[in-house]
Chains A and B, each alone.
Chain A
Amino acid sequence: MSEPFLSDRILLSVEKPARYIGNEINAVTKDKTRTDVRFAMCFPDVYEIGMSHLGIQIIYDQLNKRPDTWCERVYSPWPDLHKIMKEEKIPLFALESQDPIKEFDFLGFTIQYELCYSNILQVLDLSGLGFYSRERTENDPIVIGGGPCVYNPEPLAPFFDIFYIGDSETALDPLIDLYRDMKKAGKSKKAFLKKAARLPGVYVPCFYEASYYEDGTLSSFEPTEPDIPRRVKKQTCLDLSSAPYPRKPLVPFMRATQDRVTLEIQRGCIRGCRFCQAGMLYRPLREKSLETLEKEAAEIIKNTGYDEISLSSLSSSDYRKLPELMDFLIKNFKEKNVNISLPSLRIDNFSLEVMQKVQDIKKSSLTFAPEAGTQRLRDVINKGISEEDIFNGSMMAFRGGWNKVKLYFMLGLPTETEEDRKGIALLSQAICDHYYEIPKEERNGKCEITVSTSFFVPKPFTPFEWASMFRKEDYLNFAHTVRGEIMAMKNQRSIHYNWHEADGTVLEGVFARGDRRLAPAIVYAYEHGALFDSWSDYFHMDIWLKAFLACGIDHEFYTLRERKTDELLPWDFIDIGVTKDFLIREWELAKQGVITPNCREKCSGCGARTYGGGVCFEEKNVPENLSGLEEKSGFEEKIGFEKKSCSEQKSGFEEMNGFGEQDDKISGGSGQ
């Protein structure tokens, strides 16, 4: 065990010192003199959040399986410790060895949400590293990023040496191999980066140059050197069943946000909700085999001592062997006092039966995510559920004994009108009405409905990537409309309404579709106190507004404008398989309110089939004439894909798990 890097005086004066000492169950310790590569993996948020993240566990496991590499962890010091470290110039350290980050070969970030960007700079700053990659020296760690936000890495581009785009299982190891070999051969960092830039899934931002038209839009985005690829292809692990999955995940002492076994049952989604970035990024859907999941579940429960297991996927009901998997889990673990939790199920008889078996109905609530208040708007966003589905689902739940229902909606969706917003109140009331149709003797007390709305942020690689956003005041007006309408409903006392703050939405929107010109504003904001922006107590929009002003940035350029489909977008150089033509087609269909069937109903030719696996190749799903469906991308050059075998591949940058409170969710699909 390493003695804490921080003194007793510091550890005893900060909140929750256990965040900084490491030494958890299943933490990996190696002899640093016997490893070639030291990797510090960072989740730029507080320990309890970061420890709940599956992606880091996957990468931790993957890298530590290598005898030549020791992967450790680092999280954002909480503001109390941050202040002390700044004042006393104490360097940030990794949890396992308690060694300073500066001594590492790599500092890796998983970038899960836009509001963590100031925390990334915090970690660089406290580690004693320059913000900009050009400021860092030959001996400083290589700063590498992955995760959903790197599908538009541009606002962060000047800070990072490398972005890795895709599943880590596929091509992270070759990158580490290259580094190890070049380090041994005494090659320079620049030489390494130049070679790395040619590896699959690797984007080295310093080798690309952006230029702009007078109106501020992007005019070109090109490599600055001849042998650097023009496009970077997302890496996709096709055979998740044989890909390694952490059998001995870390178990924190402190209660983490997700304090349970997380079993990833599949990656990707067939649904094609037009607002959902994950649904497009992780195409095609890839299921893990039942046998693999059974083995993993048993082993992980045994190795962690957790008393709860949660299935993880974007839409669990679409896992074809879910009934068999549930049978297995209930039979083997329910009796051993292990709880089973099931997020993101669709409402149907099967899921309700399962829920009744695995949870205490009296205590739990069911969550539905209709996302929009009217059928018209649900069709625009391709939610794929009808009003009838919602009523049937809630009636089934009510008859099953539930009386608490949570409803999730988004506000500020493309084409949304007053009527759609008012529809949220009407739909909630209608669900209430259905409840009171049940004879009194069969009801379980009063009906309780909680309506939550969040404001929609258009994301890259979705059919809404061109859509305009709104100002803060507009968002708040939308929420006020909903509140007013709910107050006017007959059962308004049974309907609770809460909505998210709007400032964070605007900032998230700026970064989601921003470009590299935003980077100086992030530095300015961090230097003027921005930190933990995703925590409402610590978020100060005024710092950001000042930063934009100081850097000469009109942030509304990124939010209020509806982009034209022929505009070159900052993320167009990334190839996720799903083509731009498909997204344009979907954008048009959305505006007409026309729905697109899911991948198992009918292939819509999104382009993900080029990966050569997943749902696109399930038996019944191979269309007779595929060539007609293959789309040409917006770029002239089409990058061929190499099919890699997964046995030598391993991921994790990719995992996006919901944080926060987790109820056993039955939803009409997953929320954004």
Chain B
Amino acid sequence: MKVRVKFTKTGSLRFTGHLDLMRFFQKALRISGIKMAYTKGYSPHMILSFAAPLGVGMESLGEYFDAELAYRDPVLHTADDDERLKDIGLINEELPLCPPASVLIEMLNAVMPSGIRIAGITRIEEGKSGKAMSLVKEASYITVLSGIGADVSEASEKFGAFLTEEKIIVHKITKKAEADVDIRPMLHKAKTLLIKNETETSKGTETSEAAEFLKEIKADFDWTRIPEFYRKAAEGERFAFYAECATGSAAHLRPDMLAEAFCRYAGYEFNEYDVRVLRLDTFTDGGLSLGALGEDF
């Protein structure tokens, strides 16, 4: 049965790289006791596919990987499904019943170090929801800029003006080549994040502006789930902005690059280590959250 796992990566674990994270999940899945499917061949490995790698130093509330579990899929089947299972030596009817997603989440969270939480697991169908990796077209971020030597309201004003630019040219250096690139088309949406009017609610500190903002970005979490650093920044402590950026192999915009372009535009000093980025979620072409494509079980 194919599932999509949504997880968060925050705190000191932001310093682990993508490869390390993938290796970590293989071990964690083994420890959890969840039955996994393996490829055939001399060195069998788990069937996992990770979406949109996160840069070292960035945090996220919306990371995803797809996994093939060795449990019976209750809804199967197309011929493709049978073929897929045959390739890995499994027969759907002979597999054990899958525990509910909530149980699987619990099993995995029991193994996770602080900083990684499993936020959801949904069943996905081959074809319809595709591979996590190839689906990703966009991601949303909160970016916090410290040490720019300007107060928040001034920076916000300049950011507003910056967004009206028709072109944002960035000098991109890759391993193969360097070139001037216009990143404006890759920036789908952006705005300064300045959220005021704190009120105490039963869930802790929440603000109506915050609720409005979360509703606007279709977040499936409340304001308190956002790590303190970003929350405090958005509440006026530092300059923060929200951005929806092209993500994936076709076009990719890193929010720290956007931050750098903004600093150059505004005449602020830019220090790459003074940028902190929180990814909120990852989306498909149609603006659907990757997590929304699956079904609950």
Render B252-296 as a binary contact track against A, CB cut-off 8 A, 1 for contact.
Answer: 000000000000000000011110100000000000000000000
Answer whether A25 and B28 are a contact pair too, CB < 8 Å, given A337-B38, A360-B42.
yes
Q: B29 interface residue, CB < 8 Å from A?
A: yes
Q: What number of A-B contacts does a CB cutoff of 8 Å give? A: 83
| Interface pair B20/A17, CB less than 8 Å apart | no
Q: Which of A313-354 contact B (CB under 8 A)?
A: 337, 339
Nearest CB to that of A29 among chain B residues? B114
0/1 string, B105-140, CB within 8 A of A gives 1: 000000101110000000000000000000000000
Q: With an 8 A cutoff between CB atoms, is B31 at the interface?
A: yes
CB distance A12 to B43 under 8 Å? no
Q: Contact between A13 and B273 (Cβ–Cβ < 8 Å)? A: yes
Q: Any chain B CB within 8 A of the CB of A253?
A: yes
Q: Within the assembled complex, what's the spacing in Å between the Cα atoms of A128 and B28?
A: 37
Task: Say how far B38's CB is from chain A's closest CB, in angstroms.
Answer: 5
Query: Cα distance A21–B13 when bound, in Å?
Result: 8
When chains A and B are docked, how far (Å) is the Cα of A13 from the Cα of B111?
Answer: 30
- Chain B residues with CB under 8 A of A21: 12-13, 15-16
Measured between beta carbons, the chain B residues less than 8 angstroms from A9 are 271, 273-274
CB–CB A251/B15 < 8 A: no
Closest Cβ–Cβ distance, residue A305 to chain B (whole Å): 3
Tell me the smallest distance from the CB of A29 to a CB of chain B, in Å: 9
Q: Which parts of B70-104 form the interface with A (CB within 8 Å)?
A: none
Given contacts A1-B113, A337-B38, A337-B44, contact A25 B15 (CB under 8 A): no
| Secondary structure of the A contact surface, majority rule | loop
Q: How far is the CA of A9 from the CA of B21 in the complex (A)?
A: 22
Residues of chain A at interface, number, CB under 8 A: 32
Residues of A contacting B297 with CB < 8 Å? Answer: none
Decide if A306 is an interface residue (CB 8 Å cutoff): yes
B23 proximal to A (CB < 8 A): yes
CA distance A136 to B113 in the complex (A): 37
Q: Is the CB of A11 within 8 A of B30?
A: no
CB < 8 Å: which of B11, B31, B271 contacts A1? B11
Flag if A18 contacts B15 (CB, 8 Å). Answer: yes
CA–CA, A339 to B23, complex, Å?
Answer: 16
Closest CB in chain B relative to A356 CB, distance in Å:
13
Residue pair B276, A339 in contact (C-beta under 8 Å): no
Interface SS majority for chain B: helix
Query: How many angstroms from the CA of A9 to the CA of B115 in the assembled complex?
Result: 20
Given the known inter-chain contacts A9-B274, A21-B12, A21-B13, please indicate yes or no for A305 contacting B27, CB distance below 8 A: yes
CB distance from B255 to the nearest CB of A (A): 15
Do residues B273 and A254 form an inter-chain contact, with CB atoms below 8 A?
A: no
The smallest C-beta distance from B154 to any residue of chain A, in angstroms, reads: 24
Distance in angstroms from A364 CB to nearest chain B CB is 11
Knowing A25-B111, A253-B23, A255-B20, the reply to whether A17 touches B31 (Cβ < 8 A) is no
For B44, what are the chain A residues with a Cβ–Cβ distance below 8 Å? 337
CB distance from B17 to the nearest CB of A (A): 7
Q: In the complex, A20→B16 CA distance in Å?
A: 10
What's the Cα separation between A293 and B44 when bound, in Å?
25
Tell me the complex Cα distance, A8–B42, Å: 42
Please tell me if the beta carbons of B20 and A8 are within 8 angstroms of each other in the complex: no
| A302 part of interface (Cβ distance < 8 Å) | yes
Cβ-based interface call for B153 (8 A): no
Q: Among the listed A11, A22, A254, A302, which residue makes an inter-chain contact with B31, where contact means beta carbons less than 8 Å apart? A: A302
Q: Is the Cβ of A18 less than 8 Å from the Cβ of B16?
A: yes
Task: Indicate whether A211 reaches chain B with its CB closer than 8 angstroms.
Answer: no
Please measure, in the bound complex, the distance between the C-alpha atom of A311 and the C-alpha atom of B118, giving whole angstroms.
34
A interface list, Cβ under 8 A from B? 1-4, 7-9, 11-13, 17-18, 20-25, 27, 251, 253-255, 302-307, 337, 339, 360
